């Protein structure tokens, strides 16, 4: 691992323009991939909203909430960072304007400003820079990747942009590089790339004091020579500093596009770094180059299926498995708030019920779980998917007709899923939740075999110890464990510190497993999440039998 002193640390700032949702997170992660096996690369994300974090936001507002090991609830871009960089982020790397203002107010009340008038500049911009420098030094980062969410024109981003402009003077112009991701549309009926939105976006960034070193133009087609010339002219750059960010169907191919255009080497040169070895990138290319044979059909059942970003990590975990098995995975989005189409269920090779909250779509999910259990369809329950599998089993197999979760029915007389006593007293949303990484001990089972096979566990006698991330507030009621186990639904994993149910597995079923954790959050292209790996393996076996 190469190390540098504080004066030599490198900083790459990524901004966006024209529209949001262009893929700054994927771009940031793709660039970081190339540096990650030689340097300590640390991503950092700035979001202009005043929420402390996206934890209390509806998925339709902000997509998936990505939970870190330390329990921080972050933007879904952190999923891309971790998957591409093969590291674990922490809460210090996720900064919202809400957090910044909260800290400013705390310091002001504490008397830290010695009676001065507290202002946006310099106090807020100084604090933003302080956060960047502090985490880079504490974690001894070699390269900081700093992404600014939204677009340059967003009013709430102005202070972040100004702080990053000032950062150049603090760290030295030879140690910082600015990259701007923008958009070049081809309007319907025109059949010509239009660079004017990009020109205006660059101009807006320049008026704020940042002249980008590189431009990436997101587009449906490769930039024409004429488009590249226009963008370079208005940005004050050479044509070699303007790159295409073409639409792709697989985000894991994005790094290859940047590498082939020379962007990575040019960034390295601009930052004064020696040529990169790109070992991880080469291993990725080997995985991506594998021939795909056949396909399986896997349903993701939930109430947010209209917004696929709500389940982004679940989708990525399936993609990781598809590369390892050399098979195509067709994802079927099954909205459980409506009547379940039984004809669709008959076509499936596997079913996933992911995490969620609230009671909308619950009975539809339970109906799907029943179908998977009775028809020997491979099933993976995640968080809520475990809780509902327990409720379904108690109702249909153990004959506990009113079995339910207190979250769904607070008056149920048979609460198979309950809230712990100490959680009931917590007032703040999120405060009652079990967040972050927790260890669990797994006894002999299919689940244990999978964790051992993929070498993502520590072995202790006949058990293995695994660490997965959590985001939930309800637990399986221990009073009912003996009843469901006697009928064949076994608890094969408990949390290490409190004996809470973590993993369950159904006897005499090809693959019916569930976990209270969110294993999708730690899945990587090189090392797929074990329970997803097992699901796809079982789906392939199911497809063979159907033929």
Q: What is the pLDDT of residue 3?
A: 39
Residue 183 is part of which domain span? 6-287
Q: Are residues 308 and 159 in the same domain?
A: no
CATH code, 271: 3.40.50.300
Helix (H) or strand (E) holding 353: strand 350-353
Q: Which of 62, 123, 319, 518 is catalytic?
A: 518
The verdict on 238 and 309 lying in the same domain is no
Based on the fold, state whether residues 97 and 212 are members of the same structural domain.
Answer: yes
Would you list the DSSP string of 409-422? -TT-SEEEEE--GG
Shared-domain flag, residues 372 and 482: yes
Known active-site residue 320: no
- The pLDDT, as a whole number, for residue 2 is 42
Say how many CA atoms lie within 13 Å of 524 toward its Cβ.
18
In a domain, 441, yes or no: no
Q: Which two tokens stand for residue 420?
A: 């712990």
**Residue 417 maps to which CATH number?**
3.40.50.880
Asked whether residue 427 carries a pLDDT value surpassing 90, the answer given is: no
Final residue before a domain boundary, out of 287, 314, 330: 287
Residue 288 structure tokens: 């991506």
Average pLDDT, integer, range 324-345:
89
Single out the residue in 287, 304, 320 at which a domain terminates: 287
Question: Is residue 443 in some structural domain?
Answer: no
Q: 300 and 280 in one domain?
A: no
Region of 274 on the Ramachandran plot (φ > 0 left; ψ -120 to 50 alpha; else beta): beta
Q: 98-116 pLDDT, tens per residue?
A: 999 999 999 999 999 887 8
**Total count of domains within the chain:** 2
- In this structure, are 265 and 339 located in the same domain? no
Residue from 364, 400, 415 nearest 385 by CA: 364
Q: Does residue 282 share a domain with residue 379? A: no
What Å distances lie between residue 239 and 30, 39, 167, 362, CA to CA? 22, 29, 27, 55
Same domain for 399 and 349, yes or no, is yes
Q: Is 518 a catalytic residue?
A: yes
Given a cut of 90, whether residue 144 has pLDDT beyond it is yes
Same domain for 115 and 232, yes or no, is: yes
Average pLDDT value for residue range 516-525: 96
> What percent of the chain clears pLDDT 90, i.e. is strictly above it?
79
Q: Residue 332 has which token pair?
A: 């079927």
Residue tagged active-site, from 177, 219, 301, 383 = 383
Does 251 share its domain with 320? no
457 in active site: no
Whether 403 and 276 share a structural domain: no
Rounded mean pLDDT of 152-172?
A: 95
Residue 142 lies in a domain: yes
* Average pLDDT taken over every residue of the chain: 91
Residue 347 domain-assigned (yes or no): yes
Is 442 domain-assigned?
A: no
Write down which residue in 287, 306, 324 finishes a domain.
287
Identify the active-site residue in 64, 392, 463, 520.
520
Would residue 238 count as lying in a domain? yes
- Give me the mean pLDDT over the 23-45 stretch: 96
pLDDT at 290: 85
């Amino acid at each position: 691992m190469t190390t540098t002193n504080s004066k030599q640390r490198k900083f790459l700032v990524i901004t966006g323009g024209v529209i949001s949702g262009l893929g700054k997170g994927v771009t940031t992660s793709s660039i970081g991939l190339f540096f990650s096996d030689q340097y300590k690369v640390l991503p950092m994300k700035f979001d202009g909203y005043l929420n402390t974090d996206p934890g209390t936001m509806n998925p339709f507002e902000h997509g998936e909430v990505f939970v870190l090991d330390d329990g921080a609830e972050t933007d879904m871009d952190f999923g891309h960072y971790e998957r591409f960089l093969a590291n674990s982020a922490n809460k210090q790397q996720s900064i919202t304007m809400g957090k910044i203002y909260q800290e400013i107010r705390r310091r002001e009340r504490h008397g830290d400003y010695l009676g001065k008038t507290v202002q946006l500049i310099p106090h807020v911009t100084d604090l933003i820079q302080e956060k960047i420098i502090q985490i880079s030094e504490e974690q001894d980062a070699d390269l900081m990747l700093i992404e600014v969410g939204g677009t340059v024109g967003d009013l709430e981003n102005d202070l972040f942009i100004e702080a990053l402009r000032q950062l150049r003077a603090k760290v030295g112009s030879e140690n910082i590089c600015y990259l701007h991701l923008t958009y070049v549309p081809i309007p319907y009926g025109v059949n010509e790339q239009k660079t004017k939105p990009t020109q205006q976006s660059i101009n807006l960034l320049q008026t704020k004091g940042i002249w980008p070193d590189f431009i990436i133009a997101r587009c449906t087609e490769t930039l024409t020579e004429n488009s590249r010339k226009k963008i370079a002219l208005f940005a004050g750059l050479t044509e070699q500093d303007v790159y295409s960010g073409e639409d792709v169907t697989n985000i894991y191919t994005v790094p290859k596009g940047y590498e082939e255009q020379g962007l990575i080497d040019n960034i390295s040169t601009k930052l004064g770094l020696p040529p990169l070895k790109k070992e991880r990138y080469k291993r990725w290319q080997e995985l991506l180059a594998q021939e795909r044979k056949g396909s399986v059909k896997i349903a993701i059942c939930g109430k947010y299926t209209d917004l696929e970003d709500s389940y982004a990590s679940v989708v990525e975990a399936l993609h990781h498995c598809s590369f390892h098995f050399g098979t195509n995975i067709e994802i079927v989005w099954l909205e459980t708030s409506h009547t379940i189409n039984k004809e669709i269920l008959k076509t499936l090779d596997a079913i996933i019920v992911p995490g969620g909250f609230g009671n909308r779509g619950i009975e539809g999910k339970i109906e799907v779980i029943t179908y998977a259990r009775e028809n020997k369809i491979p099933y993976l329950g995640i968080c809520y998917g475990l809780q509902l599998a327990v409720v379904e089993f108690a109702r249909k197999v153990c004959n506990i007709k009113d079995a339910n979760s207190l979250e769904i029915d607070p008056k149920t007389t048979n609460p198979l899923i309950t809230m712990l006593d100490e959680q009931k007293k917590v007032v703040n949303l999120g405060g009652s939740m079990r967040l972050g990484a927790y260890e669990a001990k797994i006894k002999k089972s299919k689940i244990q075999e999978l964790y051992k096979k993929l070498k993502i566990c520590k072995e202790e006698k006949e058990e293995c110890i695994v660490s997965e991330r959590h985001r939930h507030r309800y637990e399986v009621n221990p009073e009912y464990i003996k009843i469901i186990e006697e009928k064949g639904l076994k608890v094969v994993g408990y949390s290490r510190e409190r004996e809470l149910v973590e993993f369950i597995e159904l006897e005499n079923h090809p693959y019916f497993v569930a976990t209270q954790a969110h294993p999708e959050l730690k899945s990587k292209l090189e090392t797929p999440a074990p329970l997803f790996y097992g699901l796809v393996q079982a789906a392939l076996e199911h497809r063979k039998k159907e033929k």
